[in-house]
Amino acid sequence: MKGGVIFVLLVALYIIKRRRRWHPPNVPLPPGPRSFPLLGAALSIDASKPWFTYFVWRKSFGDLIYTRIFHMDVLIINSVKVARDLLDHRSNIYSDRPRFATTEPYGIADGTILLPYGDTWRLHRRIYHQALNSEAAAKYRPMQCAKARQLIVNLAEDPRHYSAHLHTYSTSIIMSIVYGYDTAPTNDPYVEYAEQGVKAISKATDPKGAALLAMFPFLLKLPTWMPGSFKAEAALAMYYATGFRKVLFGMALERIATGVGTPSMISDAVKKNEINGNLSEVTLAIRNTSAVAYGGRYLWRIYCSTLAHTSMQLRRKHLNVFVLAMVLFPEAQKRAQKEIDTVVGSDRLPNFSDRPSLPFVEAVLRETFRWYPAAPLALPRATTNEDVYEGSYIPKGPGIGHDEQTYPEPFKFNPERFIKEDGTLTEEDFPFGFGFGRRICPGRHVADASMWIAIASMLATLDFLKAKDDHGNEIDFSPEFISGPTSRPKPFPCRIVPRMSPSTINGLTMQDI
């Protein structure tokens, strides 16, 4: 198909072992492609979009596929049912992380994303849960509404730079939630520092680099001028990984001490720790979780993880997907707008109290997550024990979206798939934006709310249309995507037209927040 729109959201479980463990007799490994010495099946995989290869493999080998990629044993889950059976129902086995050769030299071993399943990881999760559970997340709604209102004003006044406005919306929300910091509209010094840092650190989870270093550790010791050297890259990542945590965490502590900051994940965690005696291990965990909360989005772009799911930069990608879908599927846009007009009217903006009364808008949100996942591959898991699933052996150490059986015509943007005949929502919420099991995103409530209020606000006030040429004819196009471990739409021609005057939009309020 054109435009690279064939994507499969997978959870790959890696066994970081050079030799296969013993497994029970008469219990075979799951089927999979042919492996070759040393390389395994690596040459059979399209490195720019591996999920496409896994999608093709599914037709030959089924929903559970075993293969080897270099030195790693890999188990690929290709269906909703298998993902739920293993990652949800057997989460006590399928919640560990593999060990990457890059984590220590690149300085990211202490981040929540790659922590092994154990006491430190549980402490990190507790910090996230206390600040971002469904009840705690509600206190951020006024801020989210205000940011969404500013987003639509920016889009109405300057539609050409819509992607930059989505970026501002995303970044400002995550900085406010995590650090209690209100970012400057442009060129914010802390944001600029963080952006540079996470770009350097993200290279630590590049699967190609991690595999090469695991096989050839000496590459890390080669002089920087030699081809194949990882030394300079690792040093830069280490510099930022250390400084990133200290700079932003220090800024947040200073704001808490001076009373300048607003309620945030860090302020909540620090106050609880003070009550419990300022435990040093908890202070360290707070610092590391906050860094992951912001910077983890780039690691999530390599593989999904923890609060990186909620990092609004990933939501920015989903918002870009939403805009693309509205341009290409105007009938869905019109139905959602009609629903908002009927329920909300035109004299105010949608707010969270309207959400139960807007089932089709909810369906649009779910379909945005499903239709084009921003991170087609999920962060690899590792099993803590051997397992047997439906007659196949799963070794210790080794984990799903366009499932045609669950979602007919999976490459069509069709919110109706989540709507019953009576107009109410189906019971099934689309889960893949936030993961499965014990590693499910702890900040999913905040991320979901930020996405919903942005989408509802944009639909209420703006039309997303095909661009026109100099003769007034609509420009047809096939969507194209930037491929890699993560993906996003390439720039596409579109018009954003206010449904009312910008001054009217600027005067709209959100009642009953």
Tens-digit pLDDT profile for residues 403-429: 666 777 777 899 999 999 898 998 876
| Amino acid 290: pLDDT | 73
| Amino acid 11: pLDDT | 39
Give tens-digit pLDDT for 311-368: 444 455 789 999 999 999 999 999 999 999 999 998 899 999 999 999 999 999 999 9
User: Residue 503 — pLDDT band, cuts 50, 70, 90?
Assistant: confident
One-letter identity of residue 374: A
| Amino acid 453: pLDDT | 96
Give tens-digit pLDDT for 221-250: 888 888 778 888 888 888 887 777 788 888
| CA gap 450, 173 in Å, rounded | 8
Domain 2-507 CATH class label: mainly alpha
Whether pLDDT at 144 is above 90: yes
User: Residue 395 — pLDDT band, cuts 50, 70, 90?
Assistant: low
Q: Which whole number is the average pLDDT over 439-451?
A: 79
Q: How far is CA 391 from CA 253, 271, 343, 482, in A?
A: 53, 50, 52, 39
What percent of the chain stands above pLDDT 70? 75
| Amino acid 297: pLDDT | 41
Residue bearing the bigger pLDDT, 79 or 401: 79
Whether pLDDT at 140 is above 50: yes
| Amino acid 431: pLDDT | 52
Q: Which whole number is the average pLDDT over 267-273?
A: 88
Q: Which two tokens stand for residue 285?
A: 């965990």
473 Cβ partners below 8 Å, 6+ apart? none
Binding site members for heme? 441
Q: Which two tokens stand for residue 432?
A: 């893949």
Give the residue from 356, 381, 506, 505 showing the smallest Cα distance to 439. Answer: 381
**CB-based contact 473:338 (threshold 8 Å):** no
Q: How far is CA 374 from CA 158, 297, 488, in A?
A: 25, 11, 6
| CA gap 288, 302 in Å, rounded | 19
User: Residue 512 — pLDDT band, cuts 50, 70, 90?
Assistant: very low
Asked whether the CA dihedral 317, 310, 373, 113 is positive or negative, the reply is positive
User: Residue 15 — pLDDT band, cuts 50, 70, 90?
Assistant: very low
Report domain extents, the chain: 2-507
| Amino acid 343: pLDDT | 96
| CA gap 75, 90 in Å, rounded | 15
Q: Which two tokens stand for residue 382?
A: 């590792």
Q: Which two tokens stand for residue 320?
A: 């870009």
Whether pLDDT at 142 is above 80: yes
| CA gap 282, 387 in Å, rounded | 34
Mean pLDDT of all residues in the chain?
Answer: 77
| CA gap 339, 357 in Å, rounded | 9
180 Cβ partners below 8 Å, 6+ apart? 252, 255, 256, 261, 262, 263, 264, 266, 267
Residue bearing the bigger pLDDT, 116 or 402: 116
How many helices and strands (H and E) does the chain possess? 16, 10
| DSSP assigned state of 462 | E
User: Residue 401 — pLDDT band, cuts 50, 70, 90?
Assistant: very low
Give tens-digit pLDDT for 171-221: 888 888 888 888 877 777 877 777 776 676 667 766 667 777 877 888 888
Whether pLDDT at 302 is above 70: no
Q: Which whole number is the average pLDDT over 79-102?
A: 76
| Amino acid 8: pLDDT | 34
Whether pLDDT at 167 is above 80: yes
What percent of the chain stands above pLDDT 90? 20
| Amino acid 23: pLDDT | 60
| Amino acid 201: pLDDT | 66
Binding site members? 441
Give tens-digit pLDDT for 23-69: 666 788 889 898 888 778 888 877 666 777 887 888 888 888 888 87
**CB-based contact 203:209 (threshold 8 Å):** yes
